[in-house]
A and B are shown apart, each in its own frame.
Chain A
């Protein structure tokens, strides 16, 4: 399987599937977010982990990647991470992801129960796409769709929330996965 960055999701019966990596040390909140994502429609495929460290493994960003080059890292389209976690906080994860995936950055959305302006601006300053207050609601999940990453060929859009995902027909001679194109998401 390919690396975690550079993915625009798979295609499944019914439309585009967006892989969301949910990172939260609380099993209750993980389950809630998973339930919300699945309820919002079949377009979300959820990968839920309980720590920043585990998220790094899923994304293929751990130091031992070189020792295990055949490890099957899952592709991720959006990262939805809690801010306050032990050992590796959501902020630490955000920073690492943005540093590592500079070629095709994965959108990172921070979740927090604390509405602290300093925390929010700190996260946005290093590239967080959004900051959502917990507990998450249905509206928050619907917003995630607008953060599905565009490809290099997507045209500029008028507002930050509108993105175009581009579909390229799968080349029979290549390993590239089909991607969705020409679809405006608002």
Chain B
């Protein structure tokens, strides 16, 4: 927040004094404030670009003093589990003849987990994959799976960056839905 001092304002006389007392802390405060803005912007982009949906707010709502790292914990759990499922699907796609039911089961699990953390783009790509599965369209499944893997990798990177920045910012008040 910028502080504006008018030369006509009596408090302007205090400005040098304030700077003198705060000179050690004001740059730090400004830095912290900048990080918070960066964090808020990053989070807003995740939602605006469709990577996350409202379900992510549900995760945040469940974070409190008794579970201070709930969001990161669940997201970490998600990427551990989803990586396993992606590997299973990759393997299953190499087999011939294709077991579409098995593929669909794996993708159903992946979609469910993605949905639970609000991973919107991933969830949508999982849905597309399952549609190809239902039609037993192997080529469609292969193309769709590339998109699933891409969205998985992109989201993983973005959320890793987000949590890294969150750690730098430190404990903050719960973010509003506007992401500010």
- Contacts from A to B (Cβ < 8 Å): 25-29, 31-32, 35-36, 38-39, 84, 86, 113, 134-135, 137-138
Task: Determine if A35 and B70 form an interchain contact, defined as CB atoms under 8 angstroms apart.
Answer: yes
Could you list some 5 contacts between A and B, CB below 8 A? A28-B116, A29-B113, A39-B64, A113-B112, A134-B112
Q: Known contacts A27-B81, A35-B74, A39-B61; is A134 also within 8 Å of B116 by CB?
A: yes
Q: Which of B93-143 contact A (CB under 8 A)?
A: 105, 108-109, 111-113, 115-117
Task: Determine if B74 and A28 form an interchain contact, defined as CB atoms under 8 angstroms apart.
Answer: yes
| Count of interface residues, chain B, beta-carbon cutoff 8 Å | 24
Task: Determine if B58 and A135 form an interchain contact, defined as CB atoms under 8 angstroms apart.
Answer: yes
**At the interface, is chain B mostly helix, strand, loop or mixed?**
helix
Q: Known contacts A35-B70, A36-B62, A38-B66; is A29 also within 8 Å of B108 by CB?
A: no
Q: How far does the alpha carbon of A31 sit from the alpha carbon of B78 in the complex, in Å?
A: 10
Does B55 interact with chain A (Cβ within 8 Å)? yes
- Contacts from B to A (Cβ < 8 Å): 55, 58-59, 61-62, 64, 66-67, 70, 73-74, 77-78, 80-81, 105, 108-109, 111-113, 115-117
Task: Determine if A35 and B115 form an interchain contact, defined as CB atoms under 8 angstroms apart.
Answer: no
Q: How far does the alpha carbon of A186 sit from the alpha carbon of B149 in the complex, in Å?
A: 45
Q: How far is the CB of B105 from chain A (nearest CB, A)?
A: 7
Task: Determine if A113 and B81 form an interchain contact, defined as CB atoms under 8 angstroms apart.
Answer: no
Q: How far does the alpha carbon of A25 sit from the alpha carbon of B77 in the complex, in Å?
A: 13
Residue of A nearest to B117 (CB): A28
Q: How far does the alpha carbon of A35 sit from the alpha carbon of B55 in the complex, in Å?
A: 14
Q: How far does the alpha carbon of A185 sit from the alpha carbon of B71 in the complex, in Å?
A: 31
Task: Determine if B58 and A137 form an interchain contact, defined as CB atoms under 8 angstroms apart.
Answer: yes
Q: How far does the alpha carbon of A36 sit from the alpha carbon of B62 in the complex, in Å?
A: 7
Task: Give the 7 A-B CB pairs with smallest separation, nearest first.
Answer: A35-B62, A28-B113, A135-B116, A28-B78, A32-B116, A113-B112, A39-B62
Task: Determine if B61 and A31 form an interchain contact, defined as CB atoms under 8 angstroms apart.
Answer: no
Residues of the A chain whose Cβ atoms lie less than 8 Å from the Cβ of B115: 113, 134-135
Q: Known contacts A26-B81, A39-B61, A39-B62; is A113 also within 8 Å of B113 by CB?
A: no
Contact partner, B77, options A31, A134, A137, Cβ 8 Å: A31
Residues of the B chain whose Cβ atoms lie less than 8 Å from the Cβ of A26: 81, 109, 112-113, 116
Q: How far is the CB of A50 from chain B (nearest CB, A)?
A: 11
Q: How far is the CB of A40 from chain B (nearest CB, A)?
A: 10
Q: How far does the alpha carbon of A36 sit from the alpha carbon of B109 in the complex, in Å?
A: 20
Q: How far is the CB of A43 from chain B (nearest CB, A)?
A: 15
Task: Determine if A25 and B109 form an interchain contact, defined as CB atoms under 8 angstroms apart.
Answer: yes
Task: Determine if A29 and B112 form an interchain contact, defined as CB atoms under 8 angstroms apart.
Answer: yes
